[in-house]
Structure 1
Amino acid sequence: MQKIIFIGAGSIAEALIHGWVENNVIQPESVYISNRSNQQRLQQLSSKYGVQQLEGYEQLTGADLIILAVKPKDARLAMDAIKPFIEPHVSILSVLAGISIATIEDHLGERPIARVMPNTSATIGMSASGIAFNKLINDVQHAQYIQMLEAVGIVIEVEEDKLHAVTALSGSGPAYLYYLVEAFERVGTEFGLSKEIVRELMIQTIAGSAEMLKSVNEEPEVLRKKVTSPGGTTEAGIKALDAMAFNDAIANCIRSAENRSRELARGE
């Protein structure tokens, strides 16, 4: 792929650029980046990764792939702005939360389109991505996009409507885990431990637990019960979580994110 253009230069765009450049999936000189107004951000990414800054939309000519990576609220204006400059054969890879393939087709015309929801762990090759394709994606493009995303983590193909759930679970999921660690740090320091010690403990605890889920053929409930001795410290903690309706809080969190993704699809 000779020329890839990012429309938008936020955290997901940087995560993908970092992962792809680091893993030699793409050559930085073939990547162009743009955003609406933050020239300093473009200069930062250009200096850090060796990618090119898009000087104007006329440089969209000759693109092989355009990656839509703006904020969802800016998506429709951005698509309308670039439409006159995109050649009919150019395919689109969208990382826009909630913006449907049909909406992209309305603004950019019928063309090969893939929607993917990665997360920022693509930076370290650990993204969990969901992807959906329109009917104009051919077998070569399908394989190519899957390969590109597998270079920065795992990718699972789903029906487009299920991307709302993927967005809520794995797209937003890192933020919820970071929020959990913030809570552990706050209470850990109350007991006299330094934030650095608490963080080191929690990083290893989360990494170890994730590896157990990945490597051991047992359900999360079984693994939880193995840690939870009757009358012990873990049971006391679980009871406190139950008293605060922990499961309901998590369910509301995911449902709210999934619902917001659907609102963005409707332009709300």
Structure 2
Amino acid sequence: MNFPQTASEEHIAFYGAGSMAEAIVRGMIHRSVVNPGQISMINRSNREHLEYLTNRYGVVTGQDPAAKNELLRGASIIILAMKPKDAGEAIGQLRPLLSEHQLIVSLIAGLSISTIQHLLGRKQPIARTMPNTSSSIGLGATGISFSPEADARQRQAALSIFEAVGSVAVIDEDKQEILTGVSGSGPAYIYYMMEAMIAAGIEGGLSPEQARDLTVQTVLGAASMMKETGEDPAKLRKDITSPNGSTQAALEVLADKGFTETVKAAVHRCAERSREMGESVRESLL
């Protein structure tokens, strides 16, 4: 977190040390958000993985129960990065260790702020987040919602963490499901379309390598064009669509197949399923 006066006072503990936790740690260290010694990581039992994290990033890890508890007590920010099925037990173990000034940041899909606070038995400051997998290369999109107990400093700290791995949108918690539909699962939609483009290229005579490289560069270029120009995608689409041209012919096929409505339906179904899964998580934990 970019706190010139107080950086030495910050300590971030990752409760769970999987791929998303590692991606965030890598981003924070790469962008000098915090020093490696200000980050601790713990998991349930994988000592070998913790040793790897220490050797690669210089972070502090805890393996025995006493060391884990000490790291959690001493953290100003605790990031919950375990699987939903493990959340109840982990939060139960965390409950007696907390002080009211610690910020809890959840990466757990479907776990609401109210459920976390209920499991903790107190109105703890909470940040609920939904990063996507592109965070692993520093190009993620994260939605974040805060409980009223999170103060301005804690909010800025949480934003700084996720800005280290991409862009961040602060949203009301009841928008977390639609955000999941748009950006949380969004990379999968793009990959699905890329699969089809590559397959079509190969069917038309391109080599698999050529079809892949051309598709990747096309998607990268289109995303970069939209970001750098700030133009609406509809305008950019129209700019390259000549009347009665080949692009128009292709777009007419997509329109005839209900492309827009299908994509919108997919996003809304993803949001609906996210809501269902969240309710399932809540019921399993309470």
Question: What's the TM-score, normalizing by structure 2?
Answer: 0.84
| One-letter amino acid of the counterpart of residue 117, structure 2 | E
| One-letter amino acid of the counterpart of residue 74, structure 1 | D
* Among candidates 59, 79, 94, match of residue 82 of structure 1: 94
Give 1:45 shift: 3.3
Give yes or no for contact 1:130–1:158 (8 Å, CA) kept in 2.
Answer: yes
Residue of structure 2 in register with 1:68 after alignment = 80
Residue of structure 2 in register with 1:30 after alignment = 38
With over 3 angstroms needed to count, the CA separation of the structure-2 counterparts of 1:189 and 1:93, relative to structure 1, is same
Of 102-111 and 39-48, more deviation after overlay is shown by: 39-48
Give 1:166 shift: 1.4
Give yes or no for contact 1:72–1:264 (8 Å, CA) kept in 2.
Answer: no
With over 3 angstroms needed to count, the CA separation of the structure-2 counterparts of 1:111 and 1:182, relative to structure 1, is same
| One-letter amino acid of the counterpart of residue 75, structure 1 | A
Matched, 1:118 2:145: no
Give yes or no for contact 2:24–2:164 (8 Å, CA) kept in 1.
Answer: no
C-alpha distance in structure 1 between counterparts of 2:34 and 2:241, whole Å: 47
With over 3 angstroms needed to count, the CA separation of the structure-2 counterparts of 1:49 and 1:214, relative to structure 1, is same
Matched, 1:142 2:161: no
Task: Output one character per residue of 1:68-118: Cα deviation in whole Å (capped at 9) or x when no partner.
Answer: 112234322322233233334321011222211101101123211111222
Determine helix, strand or coil for the equivalent of 1:266.
helix
Task: Output one character per residue of 1:11-60: Cα deviation in whole Å (capped at 9) or x when no partner.
Answer: 32122111111111122222222334544443443333232333134232
Give yes or no for contact 1:15–1:120 (8 Å, CA) kept in 2.
Answer: no
| One-letter amino acid of the counterpart of residue 75, structure 2 | A
Give 1:134 shift: 0.9
Determine helix, strand or coil for the equivalent of 1:192.
coil
Determine helix, strand or coil for the equivalent of 2:74.
coil
C-alpha distance in structure 2 between counterparts of 1:21 and 1:7, whole Å: 18
Alignment RMSD, CA only?
2.2
Give 1:162 shift: 0.9
Residue of structure 2 in register with 1:107 after alignment = 119
Matched, 1:202 2:215: yes
Matched, 1:5 2:13: yes
The answer for unaligned runs of 5 or more in structure 1 is: none
Give 1:264 shift: 2.8
C-alpha distance in structure 2 between counterparts of 1:248 and 1:54, whole Å: 50
C-alpha distance in structure 2 between counterparts of 1:25 and 1:236, whole Å: 49
With over 3 angstroms needed to count, the CA separation of the structure-2 counterparts of 1:26 and 1:194, relative to structure 1, is farther
C-alpha distance in structure 2 between counterparts of 1:10 and 1:147, whole Å: 20
Give yes or no for contact 2:141–2:166 (8 Å, CA) kept in 1.
Answer: yes
Residue of structure 2 in register with 1:52 after alignment = 60
| One-letter amino acid of the counterpart of residue 32, structure 2 | N
Determine helix, strand or coil for the equivalent of 1:33.
strand
Determine helix, strand or coil for the equivalent of 1:267.
helix
* Among candidates 167, 171, 195, match of residue 154 of structure 1: 167
| One-letter amino acid of the counterpart of residue 266, structure 2 | C
Residue of structure 1 in register with 2:3 after alignment = none
Matched, 1:262 2:270: no
Give yes or no for contact 1:11–1:120 (8 Å, CA) kept in 2.
Answer: no
* Among candidates 144, 147, 157, match of residue 131 of structure 1: 144
C-alpha distance in structure 1 between counterparts of 2:180 and 2:49, whole Å: 25
| One-letter amino acid of the counterpart of residue 52, structure 1 | V
Of 99-108 and 175-184, more deviation after overlay is shown by: 175-184
Aligned residues: 268
Give yes or no for contact 1:129–1:153 (8 Å, CA) kept in 2.
Answer: yes
Matched, 1:234 2:247: yes
Task: Output one character per residue of 1:175-221: Cα deviation in whole Å (capped at 9) or x when no partner.
Answer: 22223223322332223323332232222212221222223354222
Question: What's the TM-score, normalizing by structure 1?
Answer: 0.89
Give yes or no for contact 2:24–2:161 (8 Å, CA) kept in 1.
Answer: no
* Among candidates 224, 229, 246, match of residue 211 of structure 1: 224
Determine helix, strand or coil for the equivalent of 1:92.
strand
